[in-house]
Structure 1
Amino acid sequence: MSAGLPLALVALSVLPFTSPTAHAADARGAAGEVAVASPTPLPTAQINGVVWDQKIVGNTVYAVGEFSSARPAGSSRGENEVPRSNAMAYDITTGALLDWAPTTNGVIYSIDASKDGKTLYLGGNFTRLNDKDTFRLGAVNASDGNRVNLGISPNTEVRDVEVSPDGSTLYFSGAFTQVNNKARSRVAAVSLPTLSLADFAPRVGRGLVRTITVAPDGAQVAIGGSFSDVGGSSNPGMAIIGSDGTVKSTNINSVIRNSGTYAAIFSLKSDNQGLYGAAYSQEGTFEGMFRANWSTGDLDYMADCHGDSYDVHPAGGVTYVAGHPHDCSNIGGFSDTAPSSYYNALAYVNGRTGTVQRNHVRGYTDYSGQPATTALQSFRPNFIVGSYTGMGQATWTVEGNDKYVVYGGEFIGVNKKGQQGLVRFAIDSKEVPPQGEGDDNGGQDNGWNNNDWWNNGGGRDNDDDDDRDNDGWNNWGWNGGGRNDRWNNWGWGWR
């Protein structure tokens, strides 16, 4: 997010301050050796627009977003392209493009799978699925992409879908106010055995619900976004709700309060270790990633790194993030540079390794004393930003399994080689979390600045450009923080 409206500075001294040296010792002692993905990209199928979400089922990665064609790894734009209408799939072990190809007449924002992996649920802003009326929430076969009747119709866009761990309920969130002509305030659920609208109906106040996730035991649901309140209680940007729709009293909003036009909890994920969130902020309080306790909402740790985070993927001892962090000095990591070096993919220790240090950068909230994690040095691939959305970003989504981590977005290159929209990395290395101080960004520039590949014309030809036909940095049509009506008036800048 760009510099813009100044943020109020709030001191939150909860735990004793820990020096960088003590922080590093905690990191080594708490995490030991962790398995980390290699930063070397593997050949992966490509798309010509933007990928908003991914789902891995077995050896297949299903990717959704807004695009009209796909092509094999190594192919330049216009070569070996095949039609794909906002949904495609590839083999995670080889990167090969697969035949799976359902079609929609509008963007797909989210995808999730049934418990048995045979059905895929899609949420977005479409009204046709495989040429049949399907209003913003649909389902298809994982095997052949054929439409599966769902019969649930929100009155406006769906931003996220998630199936409960027991497979009985499909939760979804977005901007809607009705589902099947019944009042539902931006959050709703479907009973999958009966394909009927469930009674789950929390009242969410003004703002978008971007993300929804379910606790491993199925008893609680967490929602995130830019909303102001839930059930009349002040829960800006995030709330934990019982499966009966009752809002739970937790501690998370006493620390992280992200809501409004220029702030939100962008993504939430869940596993047996906790509830994970990724956030951006220009008028909220937090940029970065965090993990919280499902029961209390207490923070387990935060990655207080300046620069937006858009998605998070917990993978055992490591947590991966998509976004553009550029300064992790508050947690003993790399400092900002001039001009800034933005990291569109980062990995953190999945656990507390110390405490947040005092913030000294104007416009950012001070979280000194809060529990902190450590940014790992070995996974920092170099992405070249794309221009499809007009927001000057690279990665929007990250998923993975025990062997691979996969990123999606609107990037047009990785490590100075053409690779558009999708990429995979192998988990094949080990790292002992390093000492926090002295981390100098590893000499990477990530494509935002000082990138020889871009400056020498690598991004100006059809081989690696996206389907907006923009010829370089100055022709993106991106307004650096002004309104962009095409993308739902997000209107953010980045910083």
Structure 2
Amino acid sequence: MCCTTALLDASLAAAADGTPAFSADPLATWQTDGIVWSMAAANGVVYVGGTFDHVRPPGAAPGQRQVKRRNFAAFDAATGKLLPCAPSFTGHHHTVRAMKASPDGRVLYVGGSFDHVGSARASNAVALHTSNCTPSKSFRPSVSATVRAIETTDKTIFLGGDFGRVGGQPRNRIAALTPKGALLPFRADVDQPVRALAAAASHGRLFVGGDFESVNGQGARSLVTLNPTTGKTVLSYPGWFPPQSSVKAIARDKTRFFVGAEGHGPGIFDGRIAGRLTNGTMVWKDTCRGATQALVPYKGLLYSASHAHDCGETPGGFPERGDRQHLLVQSLDTRKILHWFPDTNDGVGEHVGPRALAVSRGVLWAGGEFTQVNDTPQQGITRFGSRDTGAPKVPVLSVSDTDPGRVTLTWRASWDRDDASLTYRIYRDGKLVARKTKASTFWDLPRMSHTDSAPAGRHRYEIEVTDGTNTSRRSKAVTATVPAKAAQDRVVGDPR
């Protein structure tokens, strides 16, 4: 009775935390030959920006079947098809660092470090008409240095980054413009680069994150809320971030905002924080290490890109093992890390792994520095749909003991990237003789065993494992010889 109750409690807890909307099995996706820094979605198109010269089809090796795309590419969000929208972003450091579509999806605002879009001059920020992929003639602000973050509302375009002037006017690392490119009177003095922006217009707030220590002449480490019209400080967040912890990502839903941090140095806060939009109070904080780069709240869960490790203090998390997990999902309410573990490698550049996330048409897109996804070559971009197609890895089966009438088999549990509970099926001489179900994770693979009641003679055993949708191949067979039961030499009471 106790065990049944415990399983029911665990099941109810899992249901309360939600189920990931995506499989951990990647869809076939085009690749880049460099780093993806930013993604945006509008009207069923996913836009990818970064530092790269070409894209290549799914499965193509580096340098093979390349198509020219200078730091910008567009794809059908549902099918992954490469689209002809292909303006080149060149000059300065020739990189796209930030993108955001207008609320109506008609315009895509692009920022970075560039001085040309195609043949047209543009100074680190530009707008593209999504209908025909042409640059806007009106939105051409002259921004003095790199743009690293963009946020859009119906009436205002916010830019954040390294700059000190916009349109020849002083604007210290943050500015506001009209959709036509006119500079607005909004002003805030930020002492270090801005890296993340999120507006909550109905609450009269603009969330700003970055490397800074001071905003508008007052202490404000890494995160601040500004009035979106004037730029005056509404809230700072003392004690939320230690020195050398920068905010790299901000996202929100209808009631909460979410912040992702990167620590500069061993043990500096790298995790995620949830707060209330109404008053800025903290809801929860996780302490995973590993430089959070991007966040997407979607259908009640928070998806994140990082190189997470040492998550042992977060519910559902894993201990320090010397390796990294680059994509995570957790409950918006409880911060619990759920069983969804697609992974990339660290990749090139700064060896961070994924740096950008976007959801469109029911598909999660990820971009970054990686060159592998789930241990298979895949550079710069990947995506995940809803269909579970990956089978668990088949375990190695061993015979640990044989006795008259029985065989004991042992194996190490397998694991699956998006299903914790797995069922193992054992076959004797091709016939199913047992089923065992157990939960496992990549950091906890328990030993398992089964004792089979078998007749005397030589038998062949195999095992397979299923997640309920996909089943592994059967293992390599092992053999066991079951001895016959010893005949009794004497019958009790025999007078001989």
1:322 maps to 2:323: no
Match of 1:287 among 251, 266, 270: 270
CA apart distance, 1:69: 0.4
Tell me the amino acid that sits aligned with residue 141 of structure 2.
I
The answer to whether 1:73 aligns with 2:58 is yes
Against the structure 1 CA distance between its residues 291 and 427, is the aligned structure 2 distance closer, same or farther, given a 3 Å change threshold? Answer: farther
Task: Assess if the C-alpha contact under 8 Å between 2:209 and 2:249 holds in 1.
Answer: yes
Residues 304 and 328 in structure 1, CA contact (< 8 A), matched pair in contact too? yes
What one-letter code is carried by the residue in structure 2 that aligns with 1:267?
Answer: A
Q: Which has the higher contact order (CA 8 A, sep 6+)?
A: 1
1:375 paired with 2:375, answer no
1:221, 1:118 → 2: CA distance? Answer: 22
Given the two structures, how large is their TM-score scaled by the length of structure 2?
0.73
AA aligned opposite 1:184: R
Name the SS for the 1:28 alignment partner.
helix
Q: Distance in 2 between matches of 1:323 and 1:175?
A: 23
> CA offset at residue 255 of structure 1?
3.3
Is this contact kept in 2: 1:334–1:440, CA < 8 A?
no
Q: Do structure 1's residue 350 and structure 2's residue 332 form an aligned pair?
A: yes
Match of 2:49 among 64, 67, 87: 64
Write the letter of the residue equivalent to 1:413.
Answer: Q
User: Which residue matches 1:361?
Assistant: none
1:297-316 alignment to 2 at 5 Å? 297-316=280-299
Ranges in structure 1 where 5+ consecutive residues have no aligned partner: 1-20, 354-372, 445-495
Once residues 433 and 302 of structure 1 are traced to their aligned partners in structure 2, the CA distance between those partners, rounded to angstroms, is 24
> Which residue does 1:256 correspond to in 2?
240
Q: Which residue of 151, 167, 175 corresponds with 2:162?
A: 175
Alpha-carbon shift at residue 416 of structure 1 (Å): 2.2
Residue 113 of structure 1 is matched in structure 2 by 101
- Structure 2 counterparts to residues 11-30 of structure 1, below 5 A: 28=13
* Mapped contact 2:24–2:342 kept (Cα < 8 A): yes
Residue 407 of structure 1, aligned match among 366, 376, 395: 366
User: 2:221·2:238 contact (CA, 8 Å) conserved in 1?
Assistant: no
Aligned-residue offset at 1:258: 4.7
Query: Given the alignment, which residue of 157, 178, 190 partners 2:146?
Result: 157
Question: 1 CA distance for matches of 2:80 and 2:14?
Answer: 37
1:191 is the counterpart of 2:173: no
Task: Quote the residue 1:441 is aligned against.
Answer: 442
Structure ranking higher in strand proportion: 2
Residue 293 of structure 1: how far off its partner (Å): 1.1
Q: 2:352 aligns with which of 349, 370, 393?
A: 393
Matches within 5 A, 1:123-272: 123-149=111-137, 150-164=139-153, 167-192=154-179, 194-205=180-191, 207-217=192-202, 219-243=204-228, 244-250=230-236, 253-258=237-242, 260=244, 263-272=245-254
1:115 and 1:332 map into 2 onto residues whose CA distance is 35
Instruction: Determine if contact 2:367/2:380 at 8 Å carries over to the other structure.
Output: yes
CA distance in 1, matches of 2:341, 2:17: 20
Structure 2 counterpart of 1:147, one-letter code? P
What's 1:459 paired with?
none
The within-5 A match list for 1:325-336 is: 325-336=308-319
**What are structure 2's unaligned runs of at least 5 residues?**
1-5, 389-416, 422-438, 446-496
Residue identity opposite 2:248 in structure 1: F
Q: Aligned-pair RMSD on alpha carbons? A: 2.5
| Partner amino acid, structure 2, of 1:197 | L
How far 1:264 moved relative to its partner?
A: 0.5
- SS of match in other structure, 1:312: strand
2:235 alignment partner, SS class: coil
**Equivalent residues of 2:35, 2:368 under 8 A apart:** yes
1:272 Cα shift?
0.7
Question: What is the alpha-carbon distance in structure 2 between the residues aligned to residue 25 and residue 303 of structure 1?
Answer: 21
- Please give the secondary structure, in 2, of the residue aligned with 1:411: coil
- The verdict on how the C-alpha distance between 1:226 and 1:258 changes in structure 2, with shifts beyond 3 A counting, is farther
Q: Could you report, residue by residue, the CA deviation over 1:354-373 in whole angstroms, capped at 9, with x for unpaired residues?
A: xxxxxxxxxxxxxxxxxxx1
Equivalent residue number for residue 416 of structure 1: 375
**Local SS of the residue matching 2:20:** strand
The structure-2 alpha-carbon separation of the partners of 1:410 and 1:27, relative to structure 1 and needing over 3 Å to count, comes to farther
Structure 1 residues 402, 35: CA separation in 2 closer, same or farther (over 3 Å shift)?
farther
Instruction: Report if the CA contact (8 A) 1:73-1:95 is conserved.
Output: no
**CA shift for structure 1 position 402:** 6.1
2:45 partner amino acid: T
User: Considering only CA atoms, is the larger Rg found in Structure 1 or Structure 2?
Assistant: 2
- Return the letter of the residue paired with 1:375: I
